Amino acid sequence: MESCMTAIATAMSTQLSTDEQLRSFASALEQQIRAIEVQQQETRRFQELQLQLLQQLVDKQK
């Protein structure tokens, strides 16, 4: 998110060509997408661990 804001600020503060601005925005968006994907993977792993723990608790109560 921060890199996207940086790209926007850079584009607004300098006289970049349209192509340069688009490349900058595209790069920032790609970085943002990669960060979101990593975060989603971490969330999935955490949820899998939570599910395992809950299953263990249920099994102990049987």
On whether the CB atoms of residues 6 and 28 are closer than 8 A, the answer is: yes
How much is the pTM? 0.64
Residue-wise pLDDT tens digits, 18-58: 888 899 999 999 999 999 999 999 999 999 999 999 999 99
Show the domain range for 24. Answer: 2-61
The CA-based dihedral angle spanning residues 21, 10, 4, 30, taken in that order and rounded to the nearest 10 degrees: 40
- Give the model's pLDDT for residue 56: 97
Q: How far is CA 5 from the centre of its chain?
A: 14
Please state the domain count of the chain.
1
